[in-house]
Amino acid sequence: MNQPNTILFLVNPFAGTGNAPNAANYAINIMQQNGYDTELLVSKDLGDLSKFPLLFKLEKICKIAVVGGDGTMFEVVNAIMQNQQWLKIPIVAFPCGTGNSFNHDIDCLSVKKATILLLNGKVKLLDLAEVKTNGKTYWSFNSVGCGMVANTNKLAEKLRWLGSYRYIIASLLAIIS
């Protein structure tokens, strides 16, 4: 059986400053120049990327590029945990979100560096935390927040139009309240 040679790009055009489509195009061109086939799924709405296991054949995919922010990565990780045979496929997170907390943690803060990792990076295992709340199960790859942190994030999501300042303003409003 042939080794899979396709990199699946999961792209959130709403992440961060909207740079994800450009970042994906940059990386796709480099992957194709290096002999990889590519598939692309661009989100049109929240939850679209979580459908990728139903839309693509596992046996054709060799790597996954998650092009967005922490929320995009959260969506993809949780989709994988619902369909765990996808766990064997390496993932590279591209820093195209507002805060890119996960990319800070793994020291991958540029699209160029993420592209290099996608092309020839070493696989590293990542711990996940299972969180059960209100009858639902979620998987965290980065951090778990509750109380004021969770409330701040919910408020920051409503203030997305403020860009990266939304977290500062949401934090101040949470402290004041």
- The number of folded domains in the chain is 2
Which pLDDT value is given to residue 2?
Answer: 76
Separation of alpha carbons 73 and 9, rounded Å = 12
- Strand-pairing partners, residue 129, are 140
Residues 94 and 156 in one domain: no
Q: Which residues in the chain come in under a pLDDT of 70? A: 1, 143-150, 164
Which pLDDT value is given to residue 146?
Answer: 61
DSSP-derived letter for residue 19 is: -
Separation of alpha carbons 175 and 61, rounded Å = 45
Which pLDDT value is given to residue 104?
Answer: 87
Give me the phi and psi of 3, to 5 degrees please.
-70, 140
Residue 97, domain CATH: 3.40.50.10330
Residue ranges of alpha helices (H) inside 34-140 are 52-55, 70-82, 101-105, 111-120
Separation of alpha carbons 142 and 127, rounded Å = 9
The domain containing residue 160 runs over which residues?
A: 145-177
Residues 13 and 93 in one domain: yes
Separation of alpha carbons 87 and 77, rounded Å = 9
Residues 83 and 159 in one domain: no
Which pLDDT value is given to residue 115?
Answer: 97
